[in-house]
Amino acid sequence: MKKHTDIFKIIGLNVKAYRKKAGLTQQELADKFFGDRSKISDIEHGKEDFMLSTLLDIANGLNVDVKRFFVPIKKTE
């Protein structure tokens, strides 16, 4: 797997984990910013077509430091 692909997969897994930790569905998170659940789904599945500003919005919506999305999440979090 390519390294740039790895980071998108890590980001996607982290977005999903923090969204679930916040008790939000994909639609609820999308409603805060995009209104389009498929955008959240694409990010969570490691698609590479999102902008950093989108990731910043998601981090703010989940009250998570955006840096946490770039590091593999530990099982205890």
Instruction: Tell me the fold of 3-61.
Output: 434 Repressor (Amino-terminal Domain) (1.10.260)
Q: Which burial class, exposed, middle or buried, applies to 11 when counting CB atoms under 10 A from its CB (0-12, 13-18, 19+)?
A: buried
In this prediction, residues 41-51 reach a mean pLDDT of 88
Enter the pTM of the model. Answer: 0.84
Give the model's pLDDT for residue 2: 63
Spatial CA neighbour of 9 closest among 53, 64, 72, 65: 72
Domain ranges of the chain: 3-61
Q: Please say whether the beta carbons of 52 and 37 come within 8 A.
A: no
Output 24 or 50, whichever has higher pLDDT. Answer: 24
Report the pLDDT averaged over residues 8-34. 93
Q: What is the DSSP letter of 73?
A: P
